[in-house]
């Protein structure tokens, strides 16, 4: 049996995909939603990881993206590249995530697993 905690976050950001043949070639924004999953065994307090401890790592990473033009921070900021950027940042800050899902729209998301 696998046990994990999942937190959901939101941030707003804009981007331009100049290579795109459609409307995404113009600057536009999204209300992104990020799901972060941490798996493991419950500790002596009965939790895999306290939600507040997850927030302590995730919140500063998303603050760097929130209400910014992603092109200023990420080369080719597709949903895939943005999710990889977030994953690298969370890993470098020591969060033992096992799955990330970045929703760019209500019907489109990117899933990363390790």
98 given a catalytic annotation: no
What percent of the chain stands above pLDDT 70?
100
Task: Name the band, by pLDDT with cuts 50, 70 and 90, for residue 10.
Answer: very high
Asked if residue 5 is part of any domain, the answer here is no
Q: Select which of 24, 35, 37, 68 is catalytic.
A: 24
Find out whether 20 is annotated in a ligand binding site. no
Q: In the predicted model, what is the mean pLDDT of residues 49-70?
A: 98
Cα angle 54, 81, 74 (rounded to 5 degrees) comes to 90
Q: In the predicted model, what is the mean pLDDT of residues 72-89?
A: 98
Cα separations in angstroms, 95 against 29, 58, 60, 71, 98: 27, 8, 12, 25, 9
Total domains in the fold of the chain:
1
Q: In the predicted model, what is the mean pLDDT of residues 81-108?
A: 98
Asked if residue 11 is part of any domain, the answer here is no
67 given a catalytic annotation: yes
Asked if residue 26 is part of any domain, the answer here is yes
Residue 29: give the domain boundaries. Answer: 18-113
Asked if residue 10 is part of any domain, the answer here is no
Answer whether 114's CB lies under 8 Å from 98's CB.
yes
Asked if residue 3 is part of any domain, the answer here is no
Backbone angles phi, psi at 104, to 5 degrees: -90, -35
Q: Select which of 12, 56, 64, 67 is catalytic.
A: 67
Cα separations in angstroms, 64 against 74, 95, 100: 11, 17, 18
Task: Name the band, by pLDDT with cuts 50, 70 and 90, for residue 1.
Answer: confident
Give the CATH number, domain containing residue 108.
3.30.479.10
The string of pLDDT tens digits covering residues 23-48 is 999 999 999 999 999 999 999 999 99
- pLDDT for 2 equals 81
Residue 54 has pLDDT above 80, yes or no: yes
């Amino acid at each position: 049996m696998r046990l994990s905690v999942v937190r959901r976050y939101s941030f707003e950001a804009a981007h331009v995909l100049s290579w795109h043949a459609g409307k995404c070639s113009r600057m536009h924004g999204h209300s992104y939603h990020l799901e972060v999953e941490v798996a493991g065994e419950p500790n002596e307090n009965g939790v895999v990881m306290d939600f507040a401890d997850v927030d302590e790592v995730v919140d500063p990473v998303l603050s760097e993206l929130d209400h910014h033009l992603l092109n200023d921070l990420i080369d080719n900021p597709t949903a895939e590249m943005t999710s990889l950027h977030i994953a690298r940042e969370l890993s470098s800050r020591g969060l033992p995530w096992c799955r990330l899902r970045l929703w760019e729209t209500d019907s489109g998301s990117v899933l990363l697993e390790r």
